[in-house]
Structure 1
Amino acid sequence: MAELEGIYTIWLRETKRYIRYRSRIVTSVVTPLLWLIIFGTGLGAAMRFGGVAGGYQQFIFPGIVGQTVLFTSIFSGVSVIIDRQYGFLKEILVAPVSRPSVVLGKSLGISTACLIQGVILLLLSFIVGIQMTIPCFLVSVVLIILISLGLAGLGLMIASFTDSMEGFNLILSFIVLPMFLLSGALFPITGLPSWLQFAVYLNPLTYGVDALRFTILNSSVLPLYINFAVLGVFTVITIFAAAYLFSKKEQGLM
């Protein structure tokens, strides 16, 4: 019970901290909409795209949802650095809660923030002419939770061995943008050169975007069960790795 209470408390703190900054919620929703409307319209008008009946804007919509989850999940790992700098992390570590529970609580809090943003975007899918059915919406919500948990674990892994905001942002600059660009969010991944396809299929976000595209548009490269399996394995690995690295890093604080 103590572990569950600890996980719940940390999750509640992370969720409240996100909800209180309403400007962050607005920005996190407006930015992907600008990508969708401006980038989708501009590039869609400049290219012939026949991959999806609804055109290029509908094609990139699942990718934009994945982009939102990616940026929020990994960048939220910076909360560990902030808590360490302000001493709050020491207060958590002296509590009778294991460090893996701390990581899980933070991951669930980050996932909740991603879920709020993702649900808003799904509800706004009519902007690009997508009809969001209830089954489609529910499966998309499950995918958003799964993707965000895995990426939150990745963000916490990076934050676990980084002591400064500058170092964290520097590492992310070499991770976030390549993950987004190589996920198939903006272009079909079929027909690419073999070396680029290799990089695409090494990217865990590829499977999340492909699963969302199948759920929302009924169009994908891989079967849905393969995407779910890869995302599940990725999530388990990153959460356990983040808990291990976090435990090793924070031993010096006790």
Structure 2
Amino acid sequence: MVATSSLSPASVTDHASATAVRGSAVMAIYSLASRELLRFFRQRTRIIGALGQPIIFWVLFGAGLQSSFRGPAGVTFQEYFFPGVAVMIVMFTAIFSTISIIEDRREGFLQGVLVAPIARLSIVLGKVCGGTILALLQAMLFLAIGPTLAMVGLAPPISTGLTWMNLPLVIAYLTLVGFSLTALGYLIAWPMDSTHGFHAIMSVFLMPMWLLSGSFFPAPETGWLAWVIRVNPLTYGTAGLRRLVTPDADALAGLPSFTLSLTVTIAAAVVYISIAIWLTGRQTAHNAR
């Protein structure tokens, strides 16, 4: 007996087409993400600025406020500010990586990507994944450098709960925070024509967003400032990281639980990505220039 295939020529063709579409989507994401990485590492000033400025902030603010700051359970400002600086690095790197959208539009590269036969989701994920990888690499580098600076006397001694046991969880959580912030930067940068406008948004919106996330000072128990901090999505990204790298459980009193922090951060990422895909899919004369 001769076995016959139950697959019709049409189904074989459909399967091959679906495989080709998936392959082109993955290649598009990889190509756009790789382009962001190459662009970043070829500009050494971006590397120095993205990592050097937060380290200087951490050392100087820690030295200046060390004697006057008393955090939860008596933690020093250097210890309290440590996860806040990591979030700052993630935010700066993730947000500023999306400036390339404005530059790509001005140079004509973005228009070429938009007319390519790839899904809009691939464009968004390619840009966002590139920024996320950059943010994660620099944040992890700081988490390694920070305690080293304290050990050699360039910063006050700190205790950190970052160990080899919880390192995978810290990396995964920072990846999620970086993904969310890069998606936020994407939807801010997409409608803009000028990098000057992007920097203005950074000054009046994104910097206060970081300051009001519990990164720089603890949230008060009552008052309007307490409510602003509670409704800030980045508050939960900061609180989740603080719970992972703070060894003293008493210093975590009053913070949102890790489960709540994870849930809010995931929800924010989904909202940002959804809006970014919608913006990318719109057909406007703005992208034709």
TM-score (norm 1): 0.92
Whether 1:27 aligns to 2:49 is yes
CA–CA distance in structure 1, aligned partners of residues 104 and 243 of structure 2:
39
**Using a 3 Å threshold, how does the CA distance of structure 1 residues 190 and 140 change in structure 2: closer, same or farther?**
farther
Q: 1:184 pairs with 185, 209, 214, which one?
A: 214
Given that residues 40 and 56 in structure 1 are in contact (C-alpha distance below 8 angstroms), is that contact kept between their aligned partners in structure 2? Answer: yes
The 8 Å contact of residues 122 and 137 in structure 1, kept in 2 or not, is answered as no
AA at the equivalent of 1:222: P
Q: CA RMSD in A?
A: 1.8
Q: How many residues get paired?
A: 252
1:230 aligns with 2:246: no
Q: Which residue pairs with 2:191 in the alignment?
A: 161
Contact (CA 8 Å) 2:71, 2:218: kept in 1 or not?
A: no
Corresponding position of 1:215: 244
Q: Which has the larger radius of gyration?
A: 2
The structure-2 alpha-carbon separation of the partners of 1:85 and 1:123, relative to structure 1 and needing over 3 Å to count, comes to same
Shift of 1:216: 0.3
3-state SS of paired residue (1:174): helix
Matched to 1:66, the amino acid is V
Question: What letter matches 1:23 in structure 2?
Answer: T
Q: Which amino acid is 1:129 matched to? A: I
Please say if 1:82 is aligned against 2:109.
no
Q: Give 1:125 deviation, angstroms.
A: 3.1
In the alignment, is the contact (CA less than 8 A) between 1:78 and 1:165 conserved in 2?
A: yes
Q: Distance in 1 between matches of 2:89 and 2:73?
A: 22
**Per-residue deviation, 1:158:** 1.0
Counterparts of 1:104 and 1:32, CA distance in 2: 27
One-letter amino acid of the counterpart of residue 196, structure 1? L
Larger RCO (CA under 8 A, 6+ residues apart): 1
Instruction: After the TM superposition, list the runs of 4 or more consecutive aligned residues in structure 1 that deviate by more than 6 angstroms.
Output: none
For residues 213-248 of structure 1, give each alpha carbon's deviation from its aligned partner in whole angstroms, at most 9, with x where no partner exists: 110004431110110000000001101111111221
Seen in structure 2, the aligned counterparts of structure 1 residues 115 and 37 have a Cα distance that, compared at 3 Å, is same
Using the alignment, how far apart are the partners of 1:249 and 1:167 within structure 2? 22
TM-score using structure 2 length: 0.82
